[in-house]
Amino acid sequence: MPDSTDALETFRGEARAWLEENFPKSIAHRGSELIGMEHVAEDADLDLWCQRLGAKGWATPTWPSEYGGGGLSQLEAEVLRKEMSALGAFNPLTVKAGMGITMVGPTILEYGTEEQKQRHIPPICRGEVFWALGYSEPNAGSDLASLQCKAEDKGDHWLVNGQKTWTSGANIAQWIGCLVRTDPDAPKRDGISFLILDMNQPGIETRPIELIAGASPFCETFFNDATTPKGELLGPLNGGWTVGKRLLQHERASQTGARGAGGAAAKKSIHALAKEYVGTDAEGRVADPELRTRITAHLMNAKAQNLTLSRMIAEARGNAKVSATASIMKNAASDVSQERAELAIEILGHSGLGWEGDPFEDHELEAVRHWLSGKAISIYGGSYEIQNNIIAKNILGLPESTQRG
């Protein structure tokens, strides 16, 4: 039994030994400093760790080993996660691969042909390619099914024309997965297909979008007679709506962990931050009792969210498929992350109002940027309201009231 207690303890010992031998100690506990949603820092030991983790397959621990994954069970992967956390280790390839590990890869494994799996999965496992996604369009809003970017069958290839927006990392991506309209006469959800395109071609132009937090992880992406071989159709022709929804479930599942205050501020507990900036009373507690109560309530929410997530992982027991419950956890994670960022900014006081300049410490400036960028958590991957619609329809069984067609 691979998941018996004895077998898991044997694996724990093997994982710990491998991590102690291969994880560079110089980058321990520096994950939030070296990698983020918008960048991966240049660091020789980080590069070495990426290579070793990718070669081992443990950046994608539960993916099949024949495609470069780790081939571990869910319980073994949880053991690995805990052993990595104990050493201060982290998985940078989830960022270096863009949407590859968290969304596109699992979808290719489920819907792809054997040729597509052999071509695309191993480079994702090794962190060698960056993937973007072409979903949102300027005039579609949250009604994804009304997309107009089209693909025409040209015999041996598809010809793609149209525009996407909010395409994270499209300016640095090697590949993009796109929802495109392949039958303009069919009902809008029935005429969509999922295509994979090579970004390195003259028919694709990207323009970064500057955000309120100062960075530009998102792009506008234009397709002007872009092409892709017929073999890069993922899933059935005109069946892209089902494939696309499945990918979004994987996206939500990847966003169920609250990411905290971010930057250097994340190295301190919210309690420690409050004691430093607000002060303490005679008993050594946070001086402001009202703030103390709110911090306690936040920590209880965060604990409940983490325990629920752990329970969901444990209950999966080898069933790697995601479900509509990911929508519940995505909204819960958004609440916890934004609540912590709001508390951090409030605790910093006037030091939490800086944008640049000597009067501010680096971690104070990072907290401000994280607070601003964190506003997007409850929007990307399907807004808070979209998740509530999914919960109402697929979990509570309430009748659908939106987006018919």
Buried b (16+ CB within 10 A) or exposed e, 190-228: ebbbbbbbbbeeebbebebeebebebebbbbbbbeebbb
Instruction: Return the axis-axis angle of helices 240-254 and 325-348, rounded to nearest 10°.
Output: 40
Determine the Cα–Cα distance for residues 398 and 277; give it in Å rounded to an integer: 47
CA dihedral defined by 69, 71, 74, 80, rounded to 10 degrees? -70
What's the one-letter identity of residue 58? W
Q: How far is CA 278 from the centre of its chain?
A: 34
- The catalytic residue among 78, 251, 364, 366 is 251
Please compute, for residue 135, the number of CA atoms within 13 A of its CA located in the half-sphere on the CB side.
24
Residue 246: CB atoms within 10 Å: 19
Nearest CA among 256, 268, 277, 378 for reference residue 322? 256
Catalytic residue check, 210? no
Contacts of 185 (CB under 8 A, 6+ apart): 191
Q: How far apart are CA 405 and CA 389, in angstroms?
A: 16
Tokens of 256: 């169920």
Annotated catalytic residues are: 251
